[in-house]
Amino acid sequence: MTRTFNSVSPSPTSSTHLVPAQDSQRLRHRLVEGFGGHLDRVLGPGEVATGDQAGTKGHAEKVARFAFYSPKSSTIPGVGCDSWEGCKLGLFRRVGGTGGNVNSFGWKIAVVAFLLRATTIFAADHTVEVYKQPGRFAGWPANHGIWSWGNEIVVGFESGFFHVRKPGEHEHSIDYSRPAEHLLARSLDGGETWQIEKPLGLLAPPGTKVAGVPTEAGGKPVTDCPSGFDFANPDFMMTFRMADVDIGPSRFYCSLNRGKTWQGPFRVPLFGQRGIAARTDYLVNGRSDLNVFLTAAKSNGHEGRVICVRTRDGGKTWSLVSFVTPEPEGRDYAIMPSSVRLPSQAILTAVRYRNWIDLYRSDDDAKTWTYVGRPAPDTENPPSMLRLQDGRLALTYGRRSAPFGIRARLSSDEGKTWDDEIVLRNDGGCWDLGYTRSGQRPDGKIVTVYYFNDSPDHERQIAATIWDPGLAASKPVGIQRKVEK
């Protein structure tokens, strides 16, 4: 029973039409040919027309809805089709309302609509603002954790002072000289609205810097955990925090009332490693029994490789169970795990590498691990993996290369293969975003929470995208791509 889980304004007419991926390139070429090859340029995935030709309001903020306008300003629903003949007929009949007489402006817009749909799966229902304050940098939910009880959701994050970076500076836009707050956001309606909380019990130990950012004064010193916690308590929460990203040290806090008050900070042992940089990723096994997945420093003292540790007495004592990943070579790292337990009791752990996400599996209660594959071969962001009510897996992560945004993938075979990438957001202003955590509501929709920006020189905010994994799979999404090995 694991309660940690790793989700643009509402649009009542949002819809998604999916085109088989194996047909998309063929359809793109035949569309151009079918219209006489007169397109100025074929837009690629993630690109949009500009100015009046775009004809959309908030393009990527409304990624699930497309409304295009003809020169006569008649609104045309988003074009969707699954064959060339259907596309050709649908486009000619619907563009401009002229009974098939498509002028050059109208059909270019129609083709843009189709090409965007033919090459990308859009599944966003809507996105809501969780936290956004002028002059603040809000970030990194994946470092803190997320928990849910039905439609009640709690997510942790950090809020510091925003600092605009100069061009070429590849560093987070947070002021590393001023203290940041550690906050919680709580929703009681499945992520639709949020309230911000600042529990005093989550203050960092005196003098602590978290990844180089100072923390507020008033925290308690770290101690050993004096007594065991009841992990079976339905209102139990646990969060793991670090100091330095390479060697820590790390600490944990526990709550028995859904995060309203906290006990801690308690010391995370070193387990014979040079350092531990902990984030929140754990699986409850029983009343006093819990597995935690942590990042240990490599032998050279830099981050990192994933380990699994266990307590059987409610958090009083801990033991090292296994190394989940080999030690990465050179500058690479294996950090920030996200883990789920399958009905067979096997454990899957997704791990962030410098430029991709890898998946590992244990069939012997975390004692040994085998490499499964690479579900996300092109991302510089940590994973959030979730087992859905129907047994599928959902993986979410940020995209830190253009077009910047939030992505997802689904698997129906325990991570052996993954469907095509799903775009949750495609409108990020720069690379400084992501760190998703996701959970599923009782109605089946997924709430994916992350930090985001709409421009490099604008504050960083926390947002949540609510999306339907059933909608994303309601039509063929192309040939399932085997994970790379």
pLDDT in tens, 49-71: 333 223 333 333 333 332 222 23
Q: Within a domain: residue 378?
A: yes
How many Å apart are CA 373 and CA 281, to the nearest integer? 20
Q: Within a domain: residue 11?
A: no
Q: What pLDDT, on a 0 to 100 scale, did the predictor assign at position 360?
A: 98
Cβ proximity of 119 and 45 under 8 Å: yes
Cβ proximity of 123 and 142 under 8 Å: no
**352 and 270, same structural domain?**
yes
**137 and 93, same structural domain?**
no
**289 and 205, same structural domain?**
yes
Q: What pLDDT, on a 0 to 100 scale, did the predictor assign at position 167?
A: 75
Q: Within a domain: residue 283?
A: yes
Q: Within a domain: residue 483?
A: no
**57 and 205, same structural domain?**
no
Looking at the structure of the chain, the number of domains it has is: 2
**135 and 114, same structural domain?**
no
**138 and 116, same structural domain?**
no
H/E stretch holding 25: helix 21-34
Mean pLDDT of 460-472: 93
Residue range of the domain that includes 64: 21-122
How many Å apart are CA 30 and CA 128, to the nearest integer? 38
**429 and 411, same structural domain?**
yes
How many Å apart are CA 66 and CA 63, to the nearest integer? 7
Q: What pLDDT, on a 0 to 100 scale, did the predictor assign at position 166?
A: 79
Last residue of a domain, one of 96, 122, 148: 122
* pLDDT tens digits, one per residue of 387-396: 999 999 999 9
Confidence of residue 120 (pLDDT cuts 50, 70, 90): low
**138 and 40, same structural domain?**
no
Confidence of residue 448 (pLDDT cuts 50, 70, 90): very high
Domain CATH for 388: 2.120.10.10
**215 and 71, same structural domain?**
no
Last residue of a domain, one of 122, 142, 168: 122
H/E stretch holding 87: helix 84-94
Backbone angles phi, psi at 21, to 5 degrees: -60, -30
The top-scoring range by mean pLDDT among 2-6, 7-11, 462-466 is 462-466
Cα dist. 431→75, 195, 267 in Å?
34, 27, 34
**157 and 114, same structural domain?**
no
Closest to 196 (Cα-Cα) out of 146, 132, 137, 147 = 132
**160 and 111, same structural domain?**
no
Q: What pLDDT, on a 0 to 100 scale, did the predictor assign at position 268?
A: 98
pTM of the model: 0.76
Percent residues over pLDDT 70 in the chain:
72
**191 and 296, same structural domain?**
yes
Q: Within a domain: residue 2?
A: no
Percent residues over pLDDT 90 in the chain:
69
Cβ proximity of 140 and 183 under 8 Å: no
H/E stretch holding 112: helix 104-119
Average pLDDT, the chain: 80
Last residue of a domain, one of 122, 151, 176: 122
Q: Within a domain: residue 6?
A: no
Q: Within a domain: residue 455?
A: yes
Token couple for 414 = 């325990």
